[in-house]
A = this chain, B = another copy of it.
Amino acid sequence: MRLAELSEQSGVSIATIKYYLRERLLPPGRRVTATQAEYDEAHLRRLRLVRAMIQVGGMPVATAREVLAHIDDESLGLTMRLGAATWALPQPPEAPLDDAASTDARQEVERLLEELGWDSVREVGDLSPVYRSLVTSLATLNGLGYPVSAAELLPYARQMEQIAIHDMDQLEDLPEGTEQVEAAVAAQVLYDPLLLTLRRLALEAETTRRYGMA
């Protein structure tokens, strides 16, 4: 399809598409004449993902470009490609890990991962910004007077495990490779806010079930 049709199909303006092309968030089309290029379904998919990252995920262009670079790294297997892309997603700011609060927090994280049997996550440990983010969050909560133990985290982690299993099941129907990694990143970015909204609605429903409307 031509640029105009890509714009129509995606609902993204031609000016914005040209901006994404300049910023290398979208690969160039296949040149057919000196002034025209041809785009395909892969461009449309990529365009949607870029918009999701920027508009829903609130990511800066540089972050989105880094995530895409990992998605496109065909030298890696699915685990590493998806892992690298996920690690490049924005994380809460990290606190230093060597103070006493962080040591305690790290112990709780280790206990939690052992209980869950998430051995691969333990092996990767500090290399993962997501692991570091969990340690930092627990240290922060501890400092705020809300200590959270591994035992308290466990039920939440179990629910998230069910969601991860469901997310991975969905991916199995897609063509292997880039399309799977794109879909996994989109699922992370798009469902994060939905999950928190559903959590609040669930609490409304459960409170009313237990205590009535008053």
**Interface positions of A (Cβ within 8 A of B):** 10-11, 44, 48, 51-52, 55-56, 76-80, 82-83, 86, 89, 92, 113, 116, 118, 120-121, 124, 128, 130-131, 133-134, 137-138, 140-141, 143-146, 148, 153, 155-157, 159-168, 184, 186, 188, 190-214
Contacts and interface: CB of A to CB of B under 8 A. Distances in A.
A196 B200 contact: no
Contact of A159 (B44, B124, B163, B205): B163
B144 A205 contact: no
Contacts of A207: 78-79, 82-83, 168
Identical copies of this chain, number: 2
A120 B155 CA distance: 26
Contacts of A193: 92, 137
B56 A144 contact: yes
B155 A166 contact: yes
A204 B146 contact: no
